[in-house]
Copies of this chain bind each other. A is one copy, B any other.
Amino acid sequence: MSETPPLGEFGLIDWIRDRQAGAVGPRTILGIGDDCAVVRFADRADALATVDMLMDGRHFDLANDGAEAVGYKAMGVNVSDIAAMAGTPRFAVVAAALPRDVAVDVAKGLHEGLKRMADRFGIDLIGGDTNAWDGPLVVSVTLLGEPSPAGPIRRSGARVGDAIFVTGPLGGSFHHGRHLRPDPRVDEALALAAAAPIHAMIDLSDGLSSDLGHILKESGGLGATLDADSIPTHPDAIDQGRADGAPPLDHALNDGEDFELCLTVAPGDAEALLSAPPAGVRLYRVGTITDSPGILLRTADGRSTPIEARGFDHLARRPS
């Protein structure tokens, strides 16, 4: 970059403010630079809020991935949470713990990536907090949004007999770095919510086995049967399977960070969505909600095998 690196936090804040000048919309009454930001929600007072924190060595590898990619992902995973409720993302605040020796360069790279994802979805970056320390990079994004006219779509509305859909192929997102390039399904979620009553929805961040498990639990302890042959397996899952010997379907079920949507709808609506899907929306019907707790995987030979939630546990496993 051609700018002279600013010195100290307030120089950095000025640099970010300059980069943001003109980059926020009319809903941001007051952006970066005061004690709080002031924002205006569009036509009602209801708001969505979500937060995700990413840490070096756990959700990314700063030395390999670079700060720009980290910023892009950090914003994207939050956008995906807003999409999961069929909301529209609006305003973001960011906090970062910056490795001291490279604090300013990392902050600038982060901001570039955060802004690139924010600009894709018309999100205003309204505030932040930056600190240098001797530890690894940590970045936390809080994203505010607005519900769609259909209202926020929760995890808890699944009903027995519902069809289960996902919006894209799954698995192996860490193998080629796809986890750094999320495509949050905001438009797809809005189109789906406008096309049919969505009973329950979640984004696939921890893995289908875990995330579908959240829907089942929140919907009162329901179960699901997944059809192994109908689960769209990403080419990355096949490559990853070649590398580590695990079946690609295991990767599709458990890797996480695909940032596709998983949703359930009534059987009749499922038929309608499959015969006339909203423009630009891919839909894969992967199974059915049942009244028997747990997830069964049905294979082509007719057998059904219980599967455990083996997706990302934020307190234990690290990404492969």
Contact = CB atoms under 8 A, between A and B. Distances in A.
A214 to B, nearest CB: 8
Given A9-B313, A94-B51, A42 B39 contact: no
A30 interface: yes
Given A12-B315, A44-B45, A46-B29, A95 B51 contact: yes
Contacts of A315: 8-9, 12, 98, 100, 103-104, 130-132
Nearest to A50: B36
Given A8-B313, A315-B9, A49 B129 contact: no
B93 A142 contact: yes
Interface stretch (A53-61, A191-199, A274-282): A53-61
A166 to B, nearest CB: 15
A16 interface: no
Given A9-B315, A203-B35, A49 B144 contact: yes
A138 interface: yes
Contacts of A87: 36
A40 B36 contact: no
Interface in A1-54: 8-10, 12, 29-30, 33-53
Contacts of A144: 47, 49, 144
Nearest to A312: B9
A316 B10 CA distance: 11
- List the 8 closest A-B pairs by CB distance, nearest first: A53-B95, A35-B84, A142-B142, A140-B140, A41-B45, A36-B48, A36-B50, A9-B314
Given A34-B156, A130-B315, 19 more contacts: A35-B202, A36-B50, A36-B84, A38-B47, A38-B49, A39-B49, A41-B41, A41-B46, A50-B93, A51-B95, A51-B127, A51-B140, A53-B129, A55-B138, A57-B133, A95-B142, A130-B314, A135-B136, A142-B142
